[in-house]
Structure 1
Amino acid sequence: MAYNPHVQARYGHCDSFFVESEDGRYSSHPEVRERFRHNQRVQQRKLAEDLSQLTADEYQDDILIHMEHMESQTLPDVNSIDIQTEIQWFMRPYLLDFLVEAHAAFGLLPETLFLAVNLLDRYCSRRVVYKRHYQLVGCAALLIAAKYGDKKDRVPTIRELKSMCCSLYDDEMFTQMEWHVLQTLNWIIGHPTIDAFLQLALADTDYDAETEHMTLYIAEIALFHKEFVSTKPSVLARSALALARCILSRPQARSSEWAGAFDQQTVMNLSNQLYQPSQVLSRKYGSPHLSNVSGKVDHFLQRQAEILRRAAAPPSPPPTITLEIPKPTATSYFGPQTPHNKAVYGAVMQHGCPTPPITPENELFQNGPIPKSQPVPGYPSTPNATLPPNVQQPAQYYPGSYLQPQI
């Protein structure tokens, strides 16, 4: 007997009323049905990823060729930016600090930041930008990049961008600038970013979050410098990856692989910019969820500086022994001094006591013959040591006093 709701409504509720069980598909609990649907979605997503991977492997070479062609077509011109009348290169790091903070606040993908900076530079290389509109162009570029490749729920709104700019611009100005940037670039937004090439370079290796974060940190440092504005993203991606592996002591890719064909000069230029990174980037990549790579770079630079300091330090000389020669205690205050250089005059040792050197004859004293001096009691006399005739013989002659004062 089937269940009839009209019968129950007409005669009222009856405990003994027989009701057949419904079909199992409709009688199951809502949680069971939701779990079944979730499993179906997971299986479909896994099947779609497998098919996408097969397609990517088949067309990998064609995709890489197209990306390398597009990166050449969408590079900004540094010479055109140089002739800007109001904006200068020193203003660009301040704007990039603002974009990095906005990018982190909205939780956007890494490729969104690289694409926004590319749109900003391309627009500045084609249009004259006033200083008061420079930040507005950066916000419009970030908005376009987020709409192009990021998640829909994370795209910033005009109200949020206006609040971050302290209400400096009206809502209509954001809309007009967004349209003007797109029209200037001929609606060509598909620029292959450094992150896109980095994913290709890491596709054939095991996932290493620390290496990826270090590479992104180095690549974002390069955004702040003029010399890398016109460098191809593929070259920057491979060079930044090679430098990141060097810092983290990871093995480098083989030269036969695409990631192993990095530019040595670009790697050296990137390493020279690691010493003074932006404080905003240092704080951003100093967080634990980004592996604290900024702190590891600082530690690496300190080690390198210590190695260079040790290599440049001169070798320590061997210890030397210093001999102190005592000075004579008794000196003569009148007349010339007798030289005490033993190498010249050769001292005489008699009875175990040193004797003064021989006084020169007929050279220093020109007053006739010099009589012999009296011997000193207890010590032998100096050979041929005489005194002038006008000098009286003292009662006592002390060793070391070779000339006596005149009376």
Structure 2
Amino acid sequence: MAYMHPQQQPHAFSAFGYCDSYFTENHDDDDGLYARAANERERARGVAKMRQRTLAEELSRLTADDYQEDVLDHMERMEAETMPDIQSIEIQTEIQWFMRPYLLDFLLEAHHAFQLLPETLHLAVNLLDRYCSRRVVYKRHYQLVGCASLLIAAKYGDRKERVPTIRELKSMCCSLYDDDMFTQMEWHVLQTLNWIVGHPTVTSFLQLALTEVSFDPELEHMSWYITELALYHKDFVPVRPSVLARSSLALARCILARPQSRCSDWSARYDPQVVLSLSNYINQPSQALLRKYASPHLSSVSTTIEMFLRQQAMLAQRVVQSTPTESNAMDVEPTPATSVYLTPQTPQKGGYPNVPIGVLTPPITPDKDFCTANAGYGVNQGLVPRMNACTPTPPPSVEHQHQMQYGVPHYVQQPQFVQ
């Protein structure tokens, strides 16, 4: 019996099915029948995997909705138990707060170089602060504690293939520490914290808050930027991650002109004072943080913030320029120049130094001397100083004309301070 090509035997070929063996003589198949069959099988497998993944995500979402309140209560209870004590950090003998930005720049660059998850950085800083709350840390060991905290955080919740090795950390520290020192410090940190590593980070609460709205990568990256900016300042060390997450999300929505959350949402319960403090520091970022978030993969949010601050400076300049025009439009008789020192005047604050003007004031207006240099915020941080609402000086009365004519004060009046 003569050999027949499979194309000439459709019935026999369909009866035995396809054969994708390498040894099958399919080189003369001009139509690519076997290749098309293999592609069809791969496509069917991909579709099946996609369906399984979609079904698993749907079941996970339904389960998460049922247990979301219980999970949130557990996370808020855990964050209260794993908060650092800022008063204990204050009494450290060698390490000071001005050293913190340098160490955080190092941890930020190491975190970005190893492409670790966002929650790994926040967990590492939490472990560092908790260790400094319980042990005396020498200045020469401060960086070693930070590396050990980053290593523990990466082993706890990050991907196994991205966990940094001791050799890599030693190279980043310029061989300042030996290999055994990293291992000993890692063990000592765990012993000090009683092996309690789990801590609900800011990013964990941000994920819960962002599930209430549709997916917005720029808003998420802006929130990450603000929360990592807060790591550099001691004012936010005692702030709970849940409060910081909601406050940073509210400020991110304000910068990006996104609508705020509804009053019934969990993310709407932010702290206005924390939002105000974050806005005061928004124009003082670290250069390492600026370089990290200038990447298009993170929506270039650092560039967006620079444009936002520039727009606010232009608006503030317009307000300052339009203020004399508005005052001249009022029908108020000006006080003669010769009577400036003879009549009671409303006290005025002095001029402010020439500093960059930044973010709009959040919903709650600061009280009294918030804009002074001693308060630590306001003018030094780039906010627009609030104009004092002063009543215009009344026109000279009859007694005042008598005083100007004879040079004798008719009465002495105490200065009136306008709040």
TM-score, normalization by structure 2: 0.68
> What does 1:14-163 align with in structure 2 at a 5 Å threshold?
24=17, 27=20, 35-163=43-171
Query: Aligned partners of 1:46, 1:156: CA distance in 2, in Å?
Result: 33
Q: CA 1:45–1:198 in 2, change beyond 3 Å: closer, same or farther?
A: same
Which has the larger displacement, 286-295 or 36-45?
A: 36-45
Residue 355 of structure 2 corresponds to residue 315 of structure 1: no
Q: 3-state SS of the aligned residue for 2:266?
A: coil
TM superposition shift of 1:38: 4.1
Q: 3-state SS of the aligned residue for 1:188?
A: coil
Alpha-carbon deviations, 1:160-198, whole Å to 9, x = none? 111111111111211111111111111111111111101
Q: 3-state SS of the aligned residue for 2:324?
A: coil
TM superposition shift of 1:270: 0.3
Which of 206, 231, 240 is matched with 1:223 structurally?
231
Query: Aligned partners of 1:23, 1:234: CA distance in 2, in Å?
Result: 63
Unaligned runs of 5+ in 1: 1-14, 319-407
TM superposition shift of 1:25: 7.8
TM superposition shift of 1:129: 0.9
Residue 210 of structure 2 corresponds to residue 202 of structure 1: yes
Amino acid at match of 1:308: A
Residue 222 of structure 2 corresponds to residue 234 of structure 1: no
TM superposition shift of 1:46: 2.7
Which of 192, 202, 223 is matched with 2:200 structurally?
192
Unaligned runs of 5+ in 2: 4-11, 22-33, 330-419
- How many equivalent pairs are there? 305
In angstroms, what is the RMSD of aligned CA positions? Answer: 2.4
Q: CA 1:182–1:210 in 2, change beyond 3 Å: closer, same or farther?
A: same
Amino acid at match of 2:291: R
Amino acid at match of 1:153: E
Residue 181 of structure 2 corresponds to residue 168 of structure 1: no
Q: 3-state SS of the aligned residue for 2:170?
A: helix
Q: 3-state SS of the aligned residue for 2:50?
A: helix
Query: Aligned partners of 1:119, 1:24: CA distance in 2, in Å?
Result: 61
TM superposition shift of 1:158: 1.2
Q: CA 1:166–1:205 in 2, change beyond 3 Å: closer, same or farther?
A: same
Q: CA 1:312–1:186 in 2, change beyond 3 Å: closer, same or farther?
A: same
Structure number with the higher helix fraction is 2
Query: Aligned partners of 1:38, 1:135: CA distance in 2, in Å?
Result: 47
Report if the CA contact (8 A) 2:119-2:202 is conserved: yes
Which has the larger displacement, 140-149 or 237-246?
A: 140-149
Query: Aligned partners of 1:127, 1:35: CA distance in 2, in Å?
Result: 58
TM-score, normalization by structure 1: 0.70
